[in-house]
Structure 1
């Protein structure tokens, strides 16, 4: 009988000890899993941050760059908002989800569109697993703040908490300052004084979330609406930029305001003792609007697939893993974030999920390199130019006409579907994409075009070929324009 009691007590002690040890081990493993903060600015050009240009003051982003790695050849996967975000959050190129632009693919006047464009899918399908969904399934707490633009509710697409995200592409419901008269930000109108900037609300809510989850790994998608139009100057900041040559004062004040919000988050990470175990990545969804902020030496801006439309600033900080003050010149793209975050978190790719990007962890930790690969863009749609704005693209009518583009090493190739035109640029010779080298290097152009064609076939990328019956050739309008000019000249002579 005594022996039975002894064995029973011994078994209880062993089971209890084992349970405690397992619990402690699990908690220790969870504690070492990094927090991940992805800060995604809106319409911020590659030249619109302090560490790239003296025009703007971004001391907190400058500190982030000093503490981490700068990617000098970072690209957005699309040249405007919704398609870029769909690619990044899904980890997939556009042909897999069908989000190619904002709204209709038939942008601009029908008479100017030679082809019938591919229909656009405006929202990311709810069953397309996002970064947040994959991390949430692996035990991460997830929060979205700011612009979503991919569906009506981010909590249906992988997030535990949603602060301000819906289908809106811009800061609707009252602009950047409270009170807000509609949308998910309306509930904050009573919580914050009138005139409170969205950046301050998002940063405050982010800090609350971090304090609640400081003992648990979390993923934060901080998607500031800044600096999307309509531009609204920030009192107390705009004054320092007024009268400065080459600087749009309201735009500059909005950039600095966003930088202040980022600074609050970085400071709170320090206060909570989380900075060492948090990967912070800062980027933008596409290039800047050229008329507001020139992206020289890069050509064009938002909406264009020249470098100014898809080059973005990108910095990663992860203390102890990423060397401070380091830089990487390997071309990378937004679809790389999904596999990078998964590997950093130690999370396996969910079964059935197709990713098109490559984990950047080897270059981030300087433990290896990336295999040479091509980066691709596909845009079987039209995107009209800004009214009265010379956007430095091919023509005054469109920032984007249907086509595809790719980069391999130093070479960049554009193909346009309306006329089959091929353009080849050497980016080492110049990032302005002014000298078309397709005729000078026909073999290289043919090689890249074959790769681009094969890539489209592999992904089932649609290529518009059906002529638009409403199209009017510019040549057909020339006689009418000439007659109108002659009439105007005759009227001037008779009145002079």
Structure 2
């Protein structure tokens, strides 16, 4: 009956707790959509103002070197809710293969295309979600914003949600849920208030399509940024970043009003990067959908008052760590196929020296075989980054090796100069996932 409720809604150093808190902490997951890792006040942007996220960062354990394993939203979001890499949960691409000879509306209304879209959702449902796992501890949960995997309650395990997921009614990547943030926070705030009144622990998924296009910020914000850059497209994007930040401030303020902030774990990251093209509303190269830092790097922020000391964590972090971190915090055990670590465990962080990722086609070639859609694999070991292209997908691709400490913009390819390093890191990649389906 959970899905019926969804439909009704349409109108420093971290301290790892050995066991769950006496009173189960609420979980609030804040997810930005298409924003570069440096486009915040707390990461040093000279113009973009994000005072609410800056304040949150000052109260949190902050991983400046956070990563998502893939730089495309659907696969990235599926990892955040399952704790699995895309090749594990098998949601690698935004959409199924295009029907032969069809594009645009004709493709999306094709019966075969719609059948494959439904099959992708069925594949996703084979992986447990954080919302489902938290039910063991009597959590209620709410989805708002981006959500690709059908009905948020029936398919995602949320007890409440905004996304109906019906293709006949415009369901694809969030439908009604995409109004959140841009048109206020009432559904989210109402859920928080109800959970508080009912004295139930809750999990909130807040993933507004912000600062994602359309870049249509309030005029008051556009006027603020327009004089700061000659490109109207850049000014609009910068204004969108601050508008998104304002919605974060509104949500956090509601937690304060409800006196819930002290027993709530707040986590922030974004699904993939974005570098604004100066001549159009589109993204520039080496950002979204790419294997470069502009596509895969994100700050990861964790606030848990009284449990996690604020500070800067220098270690590598990944979005595959989110589910294991939350499960451990509430007294549940991550499953054996979850590769992530508990980010609140300083010893586990210290032992890690590498994070891994994979880049796939936007439209899948085969929705059941992740390797068929693979373009690149990458690994970052300390400051060394290796990128391996798949020749069948990227025939002109070359192996790339970068020293991110000396070359953060990834301009000097060291692969030819350091073949032994390439060989060693490629073995690490192959041990993680060889890029073939078994």
Structure 2 distance, partners of 1:283, 1:293, is 27
Q: What SS does the corresponding residue of 1:74 show, helix, strand or coil? A: strand
Q: What SS does the corresponding residue of 1:96 show, helix, strand or coil? A: helix
Alignment match, 1:221: 205
Q: Which has the higher contact order (CA 8 A, sep 6+)?
A: 2
Q: 2:91 aligns with which of 96, 99, 102?
A: 99
Alignment match, 1:33: 24
Alignment match, 1:430: 407
Q: 1:62 aligns with which of 54, 60, 67?
A: 54
Structure 2 distance, partners of 1:292, 1:158, is 41
- Count the aligned residue pairs: 379
Q: 1:346 aligns with which of 328, 331, 351?
A: 331
Alignment match, 1:131: 130
Structure 2 distance, partners of 1:438, 1:337, is 32
CA drift at 1:285: 0.2
Q: CA RMSD in A?
A: 3.3
Closer/same/farther in 2, CA of residues 244 and 382 from structure 1, 3 Å limit = same
Alignment match, 1:362: 345
Q: What SS does the corresponding residue of 2:351 show, helix, strand or coil? A: coil
CA drift at 1:155: 3.9
Do structure 1's residue 262 and structure 2's residue 263 form an aligned pair?
no
Alignment match, 2:369: none
Structure-to-structure mapping, 1:281-296, within 5 angstroms: 281-291=267-277
Whether contact under 8 Å (2:341, 2:348) holds in the other structure is no
CA drift at 1:200: 5.6
Give the 4+ runs in structure 1 shifted more than 6 A: none
Alignment match, 1:484: none
Structure 1 distance, partners of 2:430, 2:189, is 47
CA drift at 1:83: 0.9
TM-score, length-scaled by structure 2: 0.78
Q: 2:299 aligns with which of 310, 313, 323?
A: 313
Structure 2 distance, partners of 1:243, 1:165, is 41
Structure 1 distance, partners of 2:278, 2:29, is 25
Structure 1 distance, partners of 2:140, 2:21, is 12
Do structure 1's residue 212 and structure 2's residue 194 form an aligned pair?
yes
CA drift at 1:249: 2.7
Q: 1:446 aligns with which of 418, 423, 428?
A: 423
TM-score, length-scaled by structure 1: 0.69
Structure 2 distance, partners of 1:341, 1:159, is 16
Do structure 1's residue 140 and structure 2's residue 132 form an aligned pair?
no
Q: What SS does the corresponding residue of 1:127 show, helix, strand or coil? A: coil
In the alignment, structure 2 segments of 5+ residues that lack a partner are: 1-19, 102-115, 365-372
Structure-to-structure mapping, 1:437-476, within 5 angstroms: 437-457=414-434, 461-462=436-437
Whether contact under 8 Å (1:152, 1:167) holds in the other structure is yes
Alignment match, 1:166: 165
Cα shift readout 1:363-393 (whole Å, capped 9, x = no counterpart): 3xxx764422432222353789xxxxxxxxx
Cα shift readout 1:23-60 (whole Å, capped 9, x = no counterpart): xxxxxx98621111000011111122222213212111
Whether contact under 8 Å (2:145, 2:177) holds in the other structure is no
Closer/same/farther in 2, CA of residues 40 and 198 from structure 1, 3 Å limit = same
Whether contact under 8 Å (1:42, 1:226) holds in the other structure is yes
Structure 2 distance, partners of 1:293, 1:368, is 44
Alignment match, 2:14: none
Alignment match, 1:403: 376
Whether contact under 8 Å (2:221, 2:239) holds in the other structure is yes
Cα shift readout 1:189-220 (whole Å, capped 9, x = no counterpart): xxxxxxxx731655222211111112221111
Structure 1 residues 400-409 or 433-442, which shifts more? Answer: 400-409
Whose Rg is larger?
Answer: 1
Structure 1 residues 334-343 or 285-294, which shifts more? Answer: 285-294
Whether contact under 8 Å (2:316, 2:352) holds in the other structure is no
Whether contact under 8 Å (2:229, 2:235) holds in the other structure is no
Alignment match, 1:331: 316
Structure 1 distance, partners of 2:410, 2:417, is 15
In the alignment, structure 1 segments of 5+ residues that lack a partner are: 1-28, 110-118, 174-181, 187-196, 385-399, 464-496
